[in-house]
Structure 1
Amino acid sequence: MSDDIYQHYRPEEQPFIDKVFGWIDQVDLTFAPYTTVFLTPREKMIVEQLVASRDEISVIFRGGYEGAERKQACIYPQYYEPNDEDFTIVLFNIKYPEKFGHLTHGRILGTFISTGIERERIGDIITDGTNWHAIVDASISDYLKTQVTKIANVGVQLEELSFEDILISEEQWEVKHVISSSLRLDTLLSKVYNFSRQRAKNSVSQGDVKVNFVPMERPDVEIGINDIISLRKFGRFWINDIEGMTKKDNYRLNVNVLLK
């Protein structure tokens, strides 16, 4: 594999790039489709780019509903016609006593992961404000049903549903046009949420910031297109596009921001 590929990505993304090429080679050798675990938007972008570099191989993505953040990829030979059965996705309704319990995204995700399953086996967790649905890999669905009976001391039951019955998320997103002097994490936090860089640095050092759902301790890390940035009590955002540079060499960014 040419080292030229790696120079277009971050050093820490090299293991994932190698994994993707392994998936592509498997499809090429076996003439059969390969379905991945759930990918972050950044990982999805990398898969799209690497698949596009190979002839006779294609890819499609599914996350259970339109606008899903985390999606599985089906990589397949071009002569193959992929369908919904190629994706291993299950939808759960989380049944709980609404009058006596309170659930949150973090509590649900934390409980699922505490059973020992990998984060990449869990897709989106969505709510309409009262009810909660979780999308998971089919390979862990039976295990979760038996293991998850409480979330934060609230008794729950996982009920499998048809995707025709999936909730409409209450989340609302706004497109912002942001001018930023750099793509550093602390700079972007200060620009998107309109507070000082020092406050942004403090948020990072306090453990309040995640990049692609992973806690980030470096305020100087450079953020790329489709990286999801989460700030506790503020929400999430990601760079949808770098539209160019201003006359003063600042970045002109198109940013998707979750409204709170």
Structure 2
Amino acid sequence: MSIYQHFRPEEKEFIDQVMSWKNYVEMNYSPKLTDFLDPREQFIVQSIIGQNGEVKYQLFGGANSAERKRALIYPDYFQPEDDDFEIQLFEIKYPVKFVNLSHPQVLGSLMGIGLKREKYGDILIDGERIQFFVAKEIADYIRIHFHQVGKATVKLEDLPLSEAIKANEQTEEKEFTVSSLRLDAVLSTASRLSREKTQKLIENGLVKVNFRIVESPSYLLDEGDLISAKRIGRMKLTFIGEQTRKNKWRIRLGYFK
């Protein structure tokens, strides 16, 4: 049975990448560090690498509560530490009395300096304080080129990871049975909205799966998917069980408060 049968067709390229990382570790007997991965990509790494063989993995995003994490894939002799993940924490200093900055503004400005999203981890906001994680190999580039968010001139302060803003998000898990693993069906059950209303939300570009807009109501969800929908909130599909006798799926969703 092909490994690709367990995943989505569009994930083939990433699966090949994970397999190449695993082969690198096996051939060189040395660790391999990835860029930041979204929750679905982390799930694929977990599924392919596992923890029972000679090649192992660990995930870390700068804080234990981080959503986006780097994966360290390593041979069984290696003992990973936080420093091995090569993550830099920055805090943005800006005129807080005159400017309000948002998550989209910060991300847009970071993307505007010419680096791919995979080099950035989570953006943390607590009131007026704003921090973000980056891959340490691009930290000098960030220091040189990142000076503005929107119309505000900003400065960066280097901080140790121990001073990261503590996330207040908590999840509440609930179990359901759904007729289908389609995005509209799961979202309808999770939100108690009609299927028609969730379809409109999806078709209007108001729903994301793993940080990417999905406009097809028939999009099939899989274990590990992170779903966010305007006016509904954020949730993670943490478990998919066996089908019932009535051909319904048992699932578990974690709701972010």
Alignment counterpart, residue 225 of structure 2, candidates 218, 224, 227? 227
Distance 1:178 1:153, change over 3 A: farther
Moved more, 131-140 or 246-255: 246-255
Please say if residues 65 and 167 of structure 2, whose CA atoms lie closer than 8 Å, have aligned partners that are also in contact.
no
Q: Which runs of 5+ in 2 are unaligned?
A: none
Counterpart Cα distance in 1 of 2:207 and 2:103: 16
Alignment counterpart, residue 114 of structure 1, candidates 83, 105, 112? 112
Counterpart Cα distance in 1 of 2:96 and 2:80: 40
Alignment counterpart, residue 42 of structure 1, candidates 31, 40, 43? 40
Which residue matches 1:60?
Answer: 58
Q: Equivalent residues in 2 for 1:159-238 (5 A)?
A: 159-238=157-236
Moved more, 108-117 or 19-28: 108-117
Which residue matches 2:86?
Answer: 88
Which residue matches 1:156?
Answer: 154
Counterpart Cα distance in 1 of 2:51 and 2:255: 31
* SS of residue matched to 1:198: helix
Please say if residues 175 and 254 of structure 1, whose CA atoms lie closer than 8 Å, have aligned partners that are also in contact.
yes
Which residue matches 2:68?
Answer: 70
Please say if residues 129 and 170 of structure 1, whose CA atoms lie closer than 8 Å, have aligned partners that are also in contact.
no
Q: Which runs of 5+ in 1 are unaligned?
A: none
Q: TM-score, normalised by structure 2?
A: 0.92
**What's the % identity of the aligned pairs?**
39
Distance 1:54 1:118, change over 3 A: farther
Which residue matches 1:132?
Answer: 130
Q: TM-score, normalised by structure 1?
A: 0.91
Counterpart Cα distance in 1 of 2:101 and 2:244: 44
Counterpart Cα distance in 2 of 1:159 and 1:25: 38
Deviations 1:187-222 (A, max 9, x none): 122222221222212112211111111121211010
Counterpart Cα distance in 1 of 2:69 and 2:112: 22
* SS of residue matched to 1:38: strand
Deviations 1:121-175 (A, max 9, x none): 1111122233111111112222222222221222222211011111112333322
Please say if residues 51 and 57 of structure 2, whose CA atoms lie closer than 8 Å, have aligned partners that are also in contact.
no
Counterpart Cα distance in 1 of 2:190 and 2:99: 33
